[in-house]
Amino acid sequence: MRRYMADHAIPAGRLRRKPPANEFPDMPHSASEKAGQSLTGWRFNLLAILFLLAGAMIIIQLVRLQFSPERSEFVSLGDQYSRTLHIFYPPRGDIYDRWGRLLAGSTLVYEVGTQVDNVENPDTIAFALSKVLSGHPEYDYAGYSNDIFSVIHRAEISGTAYVQLADFVTPEELSQLQDWAQNYANLPNVDYGESGRPSLDGLVYRPRLQRYYPENELAANVMGFVNREGKGMFGVEAEFNDLLAGAPQSVWMSLDPYQVSEIPQLKAGADLVLTIDREIQAAAEDVLNKALDDSGADGGVISVMDPNTGEMLAIASTPRLNPNEFWNYANVFKDSTPFNRAVSQDYEPGSVFKVLTMAAALDDGAVTPDTEFVDTGSIQIGGITIHNWDWGAWGPQNMQGCLAHSLNVCLTWVATELGAGQFYKYMQNFGFGRTTGIDLAGEAPGRLKLPGDTDWFEAELGTNSFGQGIAVTPIQMVMAISSVANGKGEMMMPHVMRSMVRDGFQYTPTPQVIGKPISEETAHTLTELLARSLEGESSDALIDGYRVAGKTGTAEIATPTGYSTSETNASFVGWGPVNDPRFLVYVWLEKPQSSPWGSIVAAPVFRDMVERLVVLMDIPPDDVSQSLGDE
Amino acid sequence: MENIQKLTHAYEQAPWRKQMYMIGVILLILVSAAIVAGIYLNVTARAAAIGRQIQEMQVRVYGYHYLTNDASDVIVPIEELEQRIANLTSQLAILTSYQTMQDRVKDLNLQPIDADHIEYMKVPGYYDRQTTSLAPPPEPVVVNASAIDPQFKESLFEWVVEQAQKTARFISEARP
């Protein structure tokens, strides 16, 4: 029974166990069983040793690589392909006029390049691009096709993944390229010989934004432009470049899908609302163009300011560049012509400066409107003799007469009555000799020679009093005269940025008062004097229904051999309505040909401008304002 | 000694049982490891797939389009939409630009009005034209409210504590 069980019921495992000595008798295993057990053990052992060795070798290799000299090379190679640098450029902020009309925005353009591995036929790509982009100024040259071909060829050799072939491609040009690509793709599969099957495969594009000026040349001198590198040049674009451009962000983006990094939330550039009124700007440019045609002047400026706030409503200057075609800059601005004469070109203003000499003298009390001066036609100062514009003697004159007839002799006498110390103190208070701080790039400081300067002589006091021997910019004149024009004696800082829109909020800075060089009473008195002067002279600057104050100016132009009598700077500054000043207009024509006199060429320009201005600004005639006010 | 040996032998597990036990333990470890590895592989594979999708979308946002067979227009990324909006804004500005409006004025045979042809009248309550305001209304204060329910964020310890507190409250309320 036991034998039976041992043979048939006991599991095989039990057979290998040695039975207890007394209970079970020794039962010797067969020879084949022993041989089988030893063979199995040997194989298992061998397998285990092999696995052990393989594992050990892997571990040894891992350790060796970790400490091998090639490790750093492998790591850097891995890093090179593990991430890519992306530079994210936020969209540039828009620029609007004061009523929200877009002056500078953005438009779609495309960067075109090749993914070199996918290029099938570089010849076709070179041919297509050279034909489609032939109207593109940057790619319109004979060797462009060869250049493209060689660029692709070099990229293929060097193993470069992507090469850029063209930028700033317009949507129309891209559409043509897409048509070409489609046509090539539809070609039949036949043998095309050595040239291979024509194909634009591998040609890729990427959309991006480019600055665009929908008004083209309108207000171009104020706006400036953005160059190919995205940098603002001149005007508002340069002055507020950092604000408009926003902050580009460079991000290393991992290619490891476990380490996907978030695309940064870009802070878009701020939008700007300018003080410029598009309609007034257009009118100013229109009037200026007409004035240049009529007078044959080399160039000119018309500036329109709200004297109560310093807001520039229009700044027209010549020449003008279409900022959408800024590459024509060198053709438009020749011989160091400034981009915006109103802020960047200083000149001797001439008799318009008498407004400020008289303002200083009246404010100081050196003269009163009724002070009499007997004009003998000349006056000696600092060793030179000063004459009137007509070389005539005008006899007894009060201050209104001096201004009305623009008498150099009288104003020289007024300056001497005031004294050099006071005169230059007032001129400095009016802001001459330094920049106004207008928010336009490239402002020139002008030059005000002061007593004590090596190149200042006593005669300067006389010449400066009627605007010769002093260099000012039109915007300096506008700022200085704003203190008279607003009737408060407060000199307003000229500015073109009305408000800034950023992070969902619109910030509107308050108008800045630069100083109060004269009293309110002086401002009123002088305005009245100048208004009567214009009326007394029946000036061409007078406008029906509106009472304005102003002053003409004719300045001889300094040359290396002395002052030229044939070439002048003709100007006019005026403001109105006298009872409630709303505008200050400054006109400057450089070297007019039809007449050298400001009263003849510049005063009518002021009138033309104001006639359009009162309509655009909804300013009723004085009698209407009076009657409406009385109701 | 012999008795001890006998006793030990009497209570000793059968060798085949020991082997089965060892095999079972090893298999349990292997199966557990396989399950954990499977779950890990599943999660990481899905994470990788999602990551790759995100990367593809990022490449599309800042990547390149082919001239032909480009399906990227089906899904337009926000950045490209913003670019298109900016472009359309400029196109609109062209249509309403000063020169275009002047051309339309000429086409309609309109004349600019002179100052002496304008009639002014007093309109009570009339406010002068105001300069533009481009900024949207101030944004509402954003409350830091998470979209994930707190139950999904609490730890086991927090859950146990909360359950204990609940039970304690229940018992205290149930007590007369």
Indicate the residue of B15, B64, B139 with minimum beta-carbon distance to A13. B15
**Which residue in A529, A475, A548, A581 sits closest to A361, CA to CA?**
A529
Which of chain B's residues have a Cβ under 8 Å away from the Cβ of A200?
Answer: 67-68
A458-476 pLDDT tens trace? 999 999 999 999 999 999 9
Mutate to test the interface with B, among A102, A118, A279 (most CBs of B within 10 A): A102
* Domain assignment of residue B28, given as a range: 1-65
Kindly state whether residue B104 falls inside one of the protein's structural domains. yes
Q: Are residues B15 and B55 in the same domain?
A: yes
d(CA A123, CA A318): 47
d(CA A162, CA A115): 5
Kindly state whether residue B47 falls inside one of the protein's structural domains. yes
B112-142 pLDDT tens trace? 888 888 888 888 888 888 887 877 644 555 5
Does A6 or A48 have the greater pLDDT score?
A: A48
**Residue with token string 């020991």:** B18
Interchain contact B80–A (C-beta under 8 A): yes
Return the structure tokens found at A537: 């002279």
Per-residue pLDDT band at B38 (split at 50, 70, 90): very high
Q: Are residues B31 and B86 in the same domain?
A: no
Indicate the residue of A20, A215, A614 with minimum beta-carbon distance to B115. A614
* Chain centroid offset of residue A242 CA: 9
Amino acid symbol at A387: H
Which of chain A's residues have a Cβ under 8 Å away from the Cβ of B97?
Answer: 214-216, 218
CA torsion A54-A55-A59-A65 (nearest 10°) is 40
Angstroms from A262 CA to nearest CA on chain B: 9
CATH no. for A87-273: 3.90.1310.10
Say whether B47 and A200 touch across the interface (CB within 8 A): no
Q: Are residues B45 and B78 in the same domain?
A: no
pTM of full prediction above 0.80 = no
Angstroms from B79 CA to nearest CA on chain A: 9
- Give the CA count within 13 Å in the CB-facing half-sphere of A619: 24
Fold of A278-322+341-630: Beta-lactamase (3.40.710)
Q: What is the DSSP letter of B110?
A: -
Mean pLDDT of chain B: 81
- Domain count across chain B: 2
Mean pLDDT within A178-202: 85
Say whether A100 and B132 touch across the interface (CB within 8 A): yes
Contact A536, A581 (CB under 8 A): no
Kindly state whether residue B172 falls inside one of the protein's structural domains. no
Pairing of strands A395-397, A373-375: antiparallel
Q: Residue A218: closest CA among chain B residues belongs to which residue? A: B98
Q: Are residues B104 and B47 in the same domain?
A: no
Indicate the residue of B54, B58, B122 with minimum beta-carbon distance to A628. B122
Mutate to test the interface with B, among A212, A543, A616 (most CBs of B within 10 A): A212
What is the Rg, in whole angstroms, of the alpha carbon atoms belonging to chain A? 42
Kindly state whether residue B9 falls inside one of the protein's structural domains. yes
Q: Residue A200: closest CA among chain B residues belongs to which residue? A: B67
Instruction: Tally C-beta pairs within 8 A across A and B.
Output: 167
Kindly state whether residue B170 falls inside one of the protein's structural domains. no
Indicate the residue of B50, B65, B113 with minimum beta-carbon distance to A615. B113
Last residue of a domain, one of B65, B98, B121: B65
Q: Are residues B2 and B26 in the same domain?
A: yes
d(CA A403, CA A419): 19
Say whether B115 and A621 touch across the interface (CB within 8 A): yes
A330-358 pLDDT tens trace? 999 988 889 999 999 999 999 999 999 99
Kindly state whether residue B157 falls inside one of the protein's structural domains. no
d(CA A578, CA B174): 90
CA atoms A151, A152, A158, A163: torsion sign: positive
Say whether A105 and B68 touch across the interface (CB within 8 A): no
Which of chain B's residues have a Cβ under 8 Å away from the Cβ of A86?
Answer: 62
Q: Are residues B54 and B79 in the same domain?
A: no
Mean pLDDT within A375-379: 92
d(CA A341, CA A301): 7
Say whether A91 and B15 touch across the interface (CB within 8 A): no
Say whether B97 and A618 touch across the interface (CB within 8 A): no
Q: Are residues B60 and B79 in the same domain?
A: no
Last residue of a domain, one of B54, B82, B112: B112
Say whether B62 and A271 touch across the interface (CB within 8 A): no
Interchain contact B136–A (C-beta under 8 A): yes
Per-residue pLDDT band at B145 (split at 50, 70, 90): low
* Chain centroid offset of residue A181 CA: 37
| Other beta carbons less than 10 A from residue B120's beta carbon | 13
Q: Are residues B13 and B44 in the same domain?
A: yes
Indicate the residue of A96, A182, A615 with minimum beta-carbon distance to B118. A615
A69-124 pLDDT tens trace? 888 888 887 777 777 776 677 889 999 999 999 999 999 998 898 888 888 888 89
Q: Are residues B60 and B83 in the same domain?
A: no
Per-residue pLDDT band at A243 (split at 50, 70, 90): very high
Contact A165, A125 (CB under 8 A): yes
